[in-house]
Structure 1
Amino acid sequence: MVIFLGAVMPSCASAQTEGRKSISPASDVKGMPERELVDTPVPIVQKGRLPIKTRAGEFEIPIAVSRDWTKPQDDVTRAVVVIPGWPRRDLRSGEHAAEVAGAAASATVIVTPQFLTARDAAAHNLADNILRWGEDDWKVGKTSQDAAGISSFQVVDEIFHQLANRAIFPNLNTIVLAGHSAGGQFVQNYAVLGRGEADLGNALVHVRYVVANPATYLYLTNERPDSNGDFSPFNAAWCRSFNRWNYGLQAGIPAYSPRPSSIDELKTRYLLRDIIYLLGTADNAPDGDGQDQSCAAEAQGATRYTRGRAFDAYVHILAPHTTQQVFEAPGIGHSSYRMFSSSCGLAALFDSLGCDSASE
């Protein structure tokens, strides 16, 4: 069941039926190149609204929540927050995974925000206080293109704040922030820069990050993999953007407060976080749809799968005893629904048994 927040909304039953008819695993198959899809208004906007206070007043972002988080939910012990992909359409991949997981997800609340663009807002005649970002901006934490001017990361901060409310979720002990493709980039970037864990206050909640099939990774130093799988300082003369945000931390870090005191602080904090890199072994086409083929991306490897394996190796060089690990979904390509509902996807999201491809 999807709960819709806000003062005046359609009934839950009618809105839920609308969403399930229009958004299904089949919608993960795109009928046009991803870049064109990204630039096309979304067919559906989440009916729920999450209010966010800003210096310019109160703004809102569309959101779906599988429980009514305005009332106590004593049985909920886990929250899974799913960041949709670049086209902003795969809105039920988290709910679909929970359905497949069955009993393992029975004590879980699924939260899915939707980052909209100006085209989306215009197509659906949305109010001026609905947050909106540039098509390429929300996934890397840049500021919204409205009067609020806030980083997309602040949306996750507010979701974490809502989940940490012990009056609503007195027994919540785990938050999983998961994203696929551009959503995976968002999650990995947020794991580096985000302040949500610090804002949980006295709530004893463990946070896990699930980074699934992103096009690229945010590196913490200037090393990149070579053809032999070794890591060495990259020659910037070959690609001047290789270490800029969101490929690296040299420059271009988005305006998001508080600013980090040092790159070393970000690096140390990131390596201590619980992160699972969820990779589809069939997401291995060098010219795949939506694949980043810039020089900065190519410096990380040829395909999404090889870039993920390389980044995992890099993390273990930086911190040999890190708990971060790779879960591989055999034979699965670039699909959020299939990735999250695979055995390893369910293990990453809900700690289900059955994933035998985990490696450290």
Structure 2
Amino acid sequence: MKNWLLMLLFTCMCTEAAEHAVKEISPGRLLLKEGEMAVGISPAPAKIERVLIIIHGRLRNAETYRQSAERSAQLAGQSANTLVIAPQFLNETDIAQHPVADTVLRWQGNDWMAGGLSTAPFRVSSYAALDQIIERISDRRQFPDVKQIIIAGHSGGAQVVQRYALLAHDLPALTAAGVKLRYVVANPSSYAYFNEQRPVAFNHAGCPGFNRWKYGLTDLPIYASGQTAPQIEGNYVKRDVTYLLGQQDIDPRHPALDKGCEAEAQGAYRLVRGQNYFNYLLRRNPQGVNQRLVEVPGVGHNGDGMFTSPEGQKVLFGQ
């Protein structure tokens, strides 16, 4: 079952990294068609019924998020049947600072967040990489007992999860295996809208990129080729998405908050941006959506606090 996990055989000897390089390279390697994905992975339980794929944010600190996901599983009493996988979308700065094999996938800057193509060893969209991970987990020969896959992210990782859920390709292997796929979007700075409507008035002429990807559906990435806007929205509202919002994530000056005009048009801070987006979906789809909004009392912009909260545990593990 674990033959696709090629564990790292050495420890990074770097004691210092450049300011913008990741502090730690995840120790696992997952073989994809285009190269190896760096991953963190929890100890595999004897019977894996659930796989939680946790997506890091801009800091690319996959191990930090893996540990939070594992703590959440323990608190929820679900460690015995849950495998946690934390893909690490390395970039060229990381590769320059750490000894990493040429076969390991890497991206330019933050291109991975918007579904951009890797720079080496071959070209693959970060979203297509997620497709391949999901397809692997859907393989009944390797994972005979898996019933559900959850893709979750906080902050920058939540931006990835929301956009991936929006554009994700249909995966026949997933349907054939009868595996349920859920998405958890926690405290992102922004969302992708389906048209030019925004909840906050702004100067359109002064913000020409407000409807470009990843804030809107203009100039979509290659991964979305062949998909029309109505198809994208129609698919998205049917997908099982939970927006997990911290009730204290209300600082309009938070240092990691997207303060560009494109994001400001969605609201002043993350909590209201999430509320605005969910209400926007409901207005556009009065027949209903397969989605929900859950607020976490007393928690601000804190990924560990969000996922280990009682609300976070319930959303991730259905308890």
TM-score w.r.t. the length of structure 2 is: 0.90
Counterpart-to-counterpart distance in 2, 1:214 and 1:8: 31
Looking at structure 1, the residues matched to 211 and 124 of structure 2 have their Cα atoms a distance apart, in angstroms, of 24
Gaps of 5+ in 2: none
Q: 1:32 is matched with which residue? A: none
Partner of 1:330: 297
Percent identity over the alignment is 37
The one-letter code sitting in structure 2 at the alignment partner of 1:6 is: L
RMSD of the alignment, in Å? Answer: 2.4
Displacement, 1:236? 3.1
C-alpha offsets along residues 301-345 of structure 1, whole Å, 9 cap, x if unaligned?
Answer: 010111001001011112232131111111111111111101111
> Is the CA contact 1:5–1:50 (under 8 Å) kept in the aligned structure 2?
yes
Q: Is the 8 A contact 1:47 1:62 kept in 2?
A: yes
SS of alignment partner, residue 70 of structure 2: helix
For 1:285 and 1:152, the matched residues in 2 are separated by: 30
Matches within 5 A, 1:194-343: 194-195=168-169, 197-226=171-200, 236-251=204-219, 253-256=220-223, 259-320=225-286, 321-343=288-310
Aligned mates of 1:159, 1:38 — CA distance in 2? 30
Q: How do 1:39-118 and structure 2 match up within 5 A?
A: 40-54=20-34, 59-68=35-44, 75-89=47-61, 90-91=64-65, 92-102=67-77, 104-118=78-92
Q: Distance in 1 between matches of 2:300 and 2:281?
A: 23
1:159 partnered with 2:126: no
Following TM superposition, by how much is the alpha carbon of 1:106 offset from its aligned partner in structure 2, in angstroms?
2.5
Alpha-carbon separation, structure 2, partners of 1:265 and 1:178 = 23
C-alpha distance in 1, partners of 2:36/2:290?
A: 36
CA distance in 2 between partners of 1:177 and 1:263 (Å): 23
Q: Does the residue aligned with 1:338 lie in a helix, a strand or coil?
A: helix
Moved over 3 A (4+): 196-199
CA distance in 1, matches of 2:55, 2:253: 24
SS state of the match for residue 73, structure 2? helix
- The Cα of 1:218 is off from its aligned counterpart by 0.6
Distance in 2, matches of 1:52 and 1:290, equals 31
Paired position in structure 2 for 1:23: none
**Aligned-partner Cα distance in 1 for 2:227–2:205:** 28
- Tell me which amino acid in the other structure corresponds to 1:9: L
The CA distance in 2 between the partners of 1:66 and 1:114, in whole Å, is: 14
Q: Secondary structure at the match of 1:289?
A: coil
Q: 2:76 is paired with a residue of what secondary structure? A: helix
2:52 and 2:84 in contact (8 A); partners too:
yes
Structure 1 pair 116–163 and aligned structure 2 pair: CA distance change class (3 A): same
Residues 181 and 174 of structure 1, relative CA distance in 2, 3 Å threshold: same
Cα distance change of structure 1 residues 38 and 179 upon mapping to structure 2, 3 Å threshold: farther
| Residue of 155, 160, 171 corresponding to 2:145 | 171
Cα distance per residue 1:74-129 (max 9 Å; x no partner): 72221110001110113322112112222x34311111111111111121121222
Distance in 2, matches of 1:260 and 1:334, equals 36
> SS at 1:236's partner residue?
coil
